Every structure is written in C-alpha cells, then in structure tokens.
Amino acid sequence: MEAIQALIKISQAAAIAPALTQGGGGNTSYKNGNEMLIKASGFRLDEVSATAGFVKVNYPPVVDCLRKDTNQLPLPDADLKQLVNDQIIGDKTFLPSMETGFHAVLNTCVIHTHPIVANLLLCSAEGEHQLKNIFNDEAIAILPFLNPGYYLSKAIADLGQAPAIIFLKNHGLIVHGETVEASIATQNAVIEKLNTALDFKGDIQFELKEKKAQVFELKATWLDLYFSQPSLLSKTYFPDQAVVIGQQFNYSNSGVLKTKLNFNTSNGTCLINAPYKTALAIAENLSALAQIMLYNQAQDNTQTTVPDQDVAYILGMDMEKYRQAFLGIK
Ligand SMILES: [Zn+2]
C-alpha cells in the first residue's frame, strides 16, 4: 500500500465517529523509510486526502532529539517545535500536528484519538484503577496529564518499547502497530472493550441550525447541563476544550452575542457565533464534555482537570494558536 493510501485509511478509521475525535482533534501518521506522513494541524481527520491534510516529515532527527537527556536541551519545547518544522519535506504551507514528537518515536502506523468512552475514565481519579481492571490481560500504559508537545512526546519516548495501547489522562488514546490493519484492529478492540465494560452507547448528538451568517443555534438533550451548572466550563477537562472553547463562552439573560459561545439564560437557547467548521468543533467538544460530566457525576467520581498553568501553556503554544486561527478562518 502506498504511504498516503495508508494514512488515508487510518485517518478514515479514526474519523469514523465524532465519538472518537471531536472537532478534528485526533491525528494519525504513517512511516515509510525516513519519511513520516502526518496529519496537518488544523485539518479534520476526514479531510486527509491524497492532495491535502497531511505533511511529510523527515522523522529520524526528531527521534534522536527525544531520546536525548532533557537537560541537554535549554528550551525543550521550543527546540523540538523548531526541529520538527525544519524537517518538513516539500510544501511548507501547513504545519504538522503539534503531537508529531510522539508519533515519531512510535511504530510505523500511529492513531491518536480522543474517544469519549476512554475519557469517561481518564477524566476522573477513580478511572485509572478501572482501566487497569478492564485491561488486566493486556499490556497498556497510562500516562499522567502532560502538555502536548515536548513533554508528552518525551514521556512516550521514555517508555522505550511502548505497549500498543497508551492512555493519556485528561486527553485520550494512542494505538500503534507495524501495519494499518494491526493498528485499526487494536483501536477497534480497545473501543469495543470499553464500550462493553461501561455499557457505553453514547455518541455525539446535536443539531446546529443556522440563524443567520455565522450564527448557529445549538440544540441538544444534554444542553441543560450547561444551564444548570454554569461553572462547568470555567474548568478544563481536556486540551481541546481549552483550544476550541476556552473562556470564549458567556451566560446572559439578554441574548446578546458577546463571544463565540452564548448561553441565553432567559429562554434557554445557545447560540454559537462562528464559521460552521468552528461551530461544529465547539458543539462536538461540548457534547463530549457533557457525557464525561454526566457519567462521572452519576458514579460520584472525583473529576480531574487540566491544571491552569498547563491550560495557559497550551493556549500560549504557537502551534495551538496556529490551529485555532486556522480552524477559525477555514
Ligand atoms: Zn490529542
């Protein structure tokens, strides 16, 4: 199989349901010789095609950098970013995913997603123990929350021969293997196992109704949660929440559009003031978060969050700024 066909195949497999990737947040890669094809930042997985949505990177220098002692890099995050961008082969219009580092150190074929069913467990204190029980017959790694970029990539490089299944707390899942078939089979098996264990049938469900240009009304059964718990969005539960929604939400009883996400408390309507692609990403992330909250509140679990200093770091990252801006204008 040609490398680009392989990348398209795994990207489609990951993009199959927004329950796995909300707002195009996941990413995929495929290595062929010294080249790695990786999803470009700002594209949804289902936009990866033979002509768009991916970047080619000469990846061995990235691996060498991550195998080094951290102390040898004065500014690890900036240095890795620069190194990755220097390794782009050919067209430099688009940047590779911000998570390129960990893709480089893993097996031939890597699929990274943010499955809701995994995040039900990864966003609570009790979830890690439950995950270990569910996967007690398999080799898995569960990493604490680490900033996407150098620190997450370094932790994955430090796993050495990393198990095929890696869970990231308050973030998502990575699976990898020698072949397209093996990686897709592993991903499907993980999701199926979790769906069965948690009796999870959830998916992303909502309606986006265009009211006027770039104003969409969001309708969903789970929307009540955000009206009854307005403090919910002031905490961050996974990186994409910070990137896609962040603090750009507002509660008021006037219906005035103050920011991207507007909750009108006088009539219970929610209006998203953004281009369609951004509105879709916001709605998908809100839906994922609602399911994570409802599950953990019902279980009486202790929710874990992304620390504020990490949120600031994520929002300050050049790559994320780029991705945010790109999602906004496309
Ligand atoms: Zn991610």
Q: Report which of residues 136 and 1 the model is more confident about.
A: 136
Same domain, 220 and 146: no
How remote is the CA of residue 61 from the centroid of ligand 1, in Å?
22
Token pair, residue 173, equals 């899942």
Residue 306 φ then ψ, to 5°: -85, 125
- What ranges in 50-108 are assigned the alpha helix state H? 60-67, 76-86, 100-105
Q: How far apart are CA 218 and CA 210, in angstroms?
A: 9
Domain-ending residue, one of 175, 198, 221: 198
How remote is the CA of residue 116 from the centroid of ligand 1, in Å?
12
Helix (H, G, I), strand (E, B) or coil at 108: coil
Q: What is the per-residue pLDDT for 316?
A: 75
How remote is the CA of residue 18 from the centroid of ligand 1, in Å?
14
pTM over 0.85: yes
Of 85-89, 141-145, 315-319, 326-330, the range with the lowest mean pLDDT is 326-330
Q: What is the per-residue pLDDT for 324?
A: 62
Same domain, 179 and 249: no
210, 219 Cβ separation under 8 angstroms: no
Q: What is the mean pLDDT of residues 195-204?
A: 88
Of 195-204, 212-221, 225-234, 266-275, the range with the lowest mean pLDDT is 195-204
How remote is the CA of residue 112 from the centroid of ligand 1, in Å?
6
How remote is the CA of residue 264 from the centroid of ligand 1, in Å?
31
How remote is the CA of residue 98 from the centroid of ligand 1, in Å?
9
Same domain, 248 and 191: no
pLDDT for residue 327 is more than 80: no
Same domain, 231 and 278: yes
Q: Report which of residues 13 and 88 the model is more confident about.
A: 88
Q: Print the domain residue range for 185.
A: 3-198
Same domain, 213 and 193: no
Q: Mind listing the pLDDT tens digit for each residue in 118-142?
A: 999 999 999 999 999 999 999 999 9
Q: What is the mean pLDDT of residues 30-54?
A: 93
CB 317: neighbour CB atoms within 10 A?
Answer: 21
How remote is the CA of residue 219 from the centroid of ligand 1, in Å?
26
How remote is the CA of residue 254 from the centroid of ligand 1, in Å?
36
How remote is the CA of residue 269 from the centroid of ligand 1, in Å?
30
Q: What is the per-residue pLDDT for 30?
A: 98
How remote is the CA of residue 110 from the centroid of ligand 1, in Å?
12
How remote is the CA of residue 267 from the centroid of ligand 1, in Å?
35
How remote is the CA of residue 67 from the centroid of ligand 1, in Å?
21
pLDDT for residue 318 is more than 80: no
Same domain, 235 and 143: no
Same domain, 239 and 174: no
Q: Mind listing the pLDDT tens digit for each residue in 281-295?
A: 999 999 999 999 999
Same domain, 281 and 161: no
How remote is the CA of residue 309 from the centroid of ligand 1, in Å?
18
- With the C-alpha atoms ordered 324, 151, 83, 73, is the resulting torsion angle positive or negative? positive
Query: What's the total number of domains in the chain?
Result: 2
* HSE toward the beta carbon, residue 16, CA cutoff 13 A: 10
Q: What is the per-residue pLDDT for 259?
A: 94
Cα 200 → chain centroid? 20
Q: What is the per-residue pLDDT for 329?
A: 39
Same domain, 20 and 163: yes
Token pair, residue 197, equals 């264990």
pLDDT for residue 330 is more than 50: no
Q: Report which of residues 328 and 106 the model is more confident about.
A: 106
How remote is the CA of residue 238 from the centroid of ligand 1, in Å?
9
Same domain, 142 and 231: no
Domain-ending residue, one of 198, 224, 249: 198
Domain-ending residue, one of 154, 180, 198: 198
Q: Report which of residues 98 and 164 the model is more confident about.
A: 164
60: CATH: 3.40.225.10
Same domain, 189 and 218: no
pLDDT for residue 195 is more than 70: yes
Same domain, 34 and 175: yes
Res. 323 pLDDT band, cuts 50 70 90:
low
How remote is the CA of residue 26 from the centroid of ligand 1, in Å?
5
